[in-house]
A and B are shown apart, each in its own frame.
Chain A
Amino acid sequence: MDHSLTADDQLVAHVAEGDASALEALYDRYVRQCFGLALRMVGDPALSEEVVQEVFLKVWTRPGSYSNTKGKFVSWLLSLIHHRCIDELRRRSRTEVALEDPDTGSVLDTAHDPDPEPADQVWVMEQQRAVRAALEKIPPNQRQVLELAYYRGLSHSEIAANLGQPLGTVKTRIRLGMQSLRQLLEPQGLLTD
């Protein structure tokens, strides 16, 4: 069955009916984004692969854990990847397993996807551009703490130690940064009303 024109919500509904081809379509649509995020966070291709597989298996086993009241499917999917990666980062810090260091530069220093797949939907690329633009608009010191929290999974105190800043300052910057992002993304139609 050709799902190339089927909306995400409908694909998830098909998955809930046991349609593996629908899950495959969602995979084709978003795996590169998911793998990119996982690799950025954990830095290890094998671990990233496992994280992505687990998340898609989770979509398969529990498709009803997503509904369109939670916003766009891709946003929800990426949040699963993010949280799973944080689990891995913290597990790694506990066990002190030496793996490759994840990329620690600003995400804004990375290029846009230079070679988008034909399967990548235009609106996904547009959303990526919108989020990137929002991130560029917030003050650099807020963006810095957000990136340390989001992409490296650091806690308040870890960020404070990392930057040599007071804990309260870190907390404030995170709060202001997230508030700004929410305010910037809402008019873009990226957040549920």
Chain B
Amino acid sequence: MDNSNAVPEEWEAKLIDYTLGVMEPGDAASFEASLEECRKHVQFARQYSEVVGWLGAVVPPQEPPSGHKNRLMSRLASTPQTELTASSMRAETPASQPTLRVLPSLPAQEPYAGATAERTAQPATMTDIEAYREKRTNTGLLAALGAVAAAVILLVGFWGWNAQNDKQRAEQQVAQLQSQLNTLASRPNVPPGYKALSLPPQPNYSGVNALVLYNPGTTDAVFFANGLPQLPANQVYELWLLKAQGNPDKGGVFTADPTGSATHPTTSPQTLAQYTGFAVTIEPSPGVDVATGPAVVVGTYATP
């Protein structure tokens, strides 16, 4: 890199192409290397990034579709904030395209303005971004909650579409589930590491979709299902915690709502790592100590 104060014209041209996103992928990779090395023209680079941002302001505003805000705020409620301290934050980089790898983060990485020890140890590279994205997908409880919420919302939404009269109930169900998820997520002592276990339906119950959100290190789990058949008044669904040996422990009883969905939180006698899975059976009301009825769904995870 030229050490003079003037910005070399060739480098400026590359910076423009890179910032604008028009650089060919192969060229972008080598230019990124020069960005890492060149620390003196950070302001210059920032200004071009700002120009790119401002170009977006020329387009006339448009009203987003109805319900857009509600959908965003709903997603927000189930999305964890991954980094909340300035020292731990680095720029987000979108981009599946090499050309765009660090564009929005160009000013944020500040490779020119004096790299911190953290940045030296963790240069903002694509590997960094992929690691971050992977970390986000494995964030644990809240990420799992988000996935579960999305799945439940989709399923409930499907019912609402199928049966117009169910729409309102479906919306109430979504709100109820969201509230429960938020409650669970807000518990201060809930550690990360929750998992979602799908419980496959048993024969004669192929229309049932079920999963359990659980943390092996705790006794807390939440069962979600839809497509559950309506039961007569003298029967209930009962959740069981399966063991490697011996009778399953009881996980409580529940009923399905008119749309066939159910949400059932449970607290197990032992930490969930001591169990091997979950099952739901149909039992006489108000429930039994040892399972007797037909299994509706059964799912297992690693044995202890």
Query: Which residues of A pack against B, CB within 8 Å?
Result: 16-18, 20, 23-24, 27-28, 31-33, 35-37, 39-40, 45, 48-49, 52-53, 56-58, 60-67, 69-72, 74-84, 86-87, 90-91, 107-108, 110-114, 116-117, 120, 124, 127-128, 131-132, 135, 146, 149-151, 153-157, 159, 171, 174-175, 178-179, 181-182, 185-186, 190-193
- For residue A42, give the distance in angstroms from its CB to the closest CB of chain B: 12
Which residue of chain B lies nearest to A76 when distances are taken between CB atoms in the complex? B53
Residue B246 CB within 8 A of the other chain: no
Quote the shortest CB–CB distance from B7 to chain A (angstroms): 10
Contacts of A155 in B (CB 8 A): 22-24, 99
Q: Distance (Å) between the CB of B241 and the closest chain A CB?
A: 34
Q: Does B6 contact A (CB under 8 A)?
A: no
**Which residues of B are found within 8 Å of A135, using beta-carbon distances?**
55, 58
Select from chain B the residue with minimum beta-carbon distance to A80: B104
A106 and B76 alpha carbons, distance in the complex (Å): 35
CB distance from B30 to the nearest CB of A (A): 15
Within 8 A of A (CB), among B54-90: 54-65, 68-69, 71-73, 75-77, 79-86, 88-90
Kindly specify which of B12-20, B156-164, B166-174, B284-292 makes contact with the partner chain.
B12-20
Q: Which 4 pairs of residues, A with B, have the shortest CB-CB distance? A: A64-B89, A78-B56, A75-B53, A32-B61
**Contact present for B82 and A110 (CB under 8 Å):** no
Give residues of chain B (1-41) contacting chain A, Cβ–Cβ below 8 Å: 12-13, 16-17, 19-24
Which residues from chain B contact A27 at a C-beta distance below 8 Å? 69, 72
Q: Please tell me if B94 contacts chain A, counting CB pairs below 8 Å.
A: yes
Chain A, Cβ-Cβ closest to B9 = A175
B13 with A192: CB separation less than 8 A? no
Known contacts A65-B105, A70-B108, A87-B97; A79/B84 CB under 8 A: no
Contact check, A62 vs B96: say whether CB atoms are below 8 A apart.
Answer: no
Residue of A nearest to B100 (CB): A83
A120 to B76, CA, bound (A): 23
Contact (A84, B94) CB under 8 Å given A65-B105, A116-B61: yes
In the complex, identify which listed stretch (B44-52, B199-207, B209-217, B259-267) lies at the interface while the others stay far away. B44-52
Once the chains bind, are A20 and B58 in contact (CB under 8 Å)? no
Q: Is the CB of B47 within 8 A of A65?
A: no
Known: A69-B107, A107-B59. Contact between A192 and B16, CB under 8 A? Answer: no
Contact A86 B86 (CB under 8 A): no
Residue of A nearest to B110 (CB): A69
B73 near A174 (CB under 8 angstroms)?
Answer: no
Would you call B231 an interface residue if the criterion is a C-beta within 8 Å of the partner chain's C-beta atoms?
Answer: no
Instruction: Give the chain B neighbours of A114 by CB distance below 8 A.
Output: 60
B55: chain A residues within 8 A (beta carbon): 78, 82, 131, 135, 146, 150, 181
Scoring B52, B79, B104 by chain A CB atoms within 10 A of each residue's CB, the highest score goes to B104
A to B CB contacts below 8 Å, 25 in the list = A16-B86, A20-B76, A20-B77, A24-B73, A32-B64, A35-B63, A37-B56, A45-B65, A52-B64, A62-B83, A64-B84, A69-B107, A71-B50, A78-B54, A78-B57, A111-B60, A120-B61, A135-B58, A155-B24, A155-B99, A156-B23, A174-B16, A178-B20, A190-B54, A191-B46
